[in-house]
């Protein structure tokens, strides 16, 4: 999810389509949050690890 957010962020800046930039930032934040919670050992949605 973090990688997809980065791709959308870069494409949004290059193309100038600001909706992609916003979606990229949202995916980056959600992905980083899931990664942090997964690293602390908390199960989210019944899954302990997100790959």
Q: Binning pLDDT at 50, 70 and 90, where does residue 51 land?
A: low
What end-to-end distance do the CA atoms of the chain give, in Å? 9
pLDDT tens digits, residue range 11-41?
Answer: 999 998 899 999 999 999 999 988 888 777 7
Task: Go through the chain and tell me how many residues it has.
Answer: 51
Structure tokens at 27: 């995916």
CB 29 within 8 A of CB 2: no
How much is the pTM? Answer: 0.76
CB atoms within 10 A of CB 27: 19
pLDDT at 50: 58
């Amino acid at each position: 999810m973090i990688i997809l957010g980065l791709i959308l962020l870069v494409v949004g800046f290059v193309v100038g389509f600001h909706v992609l930039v916003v979606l990229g930032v949202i995916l980056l934040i959600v992905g980083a949050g899931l990664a942090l919670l997964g690293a602390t050992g908390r199960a989210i949605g019944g899954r302990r690890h997100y790959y």
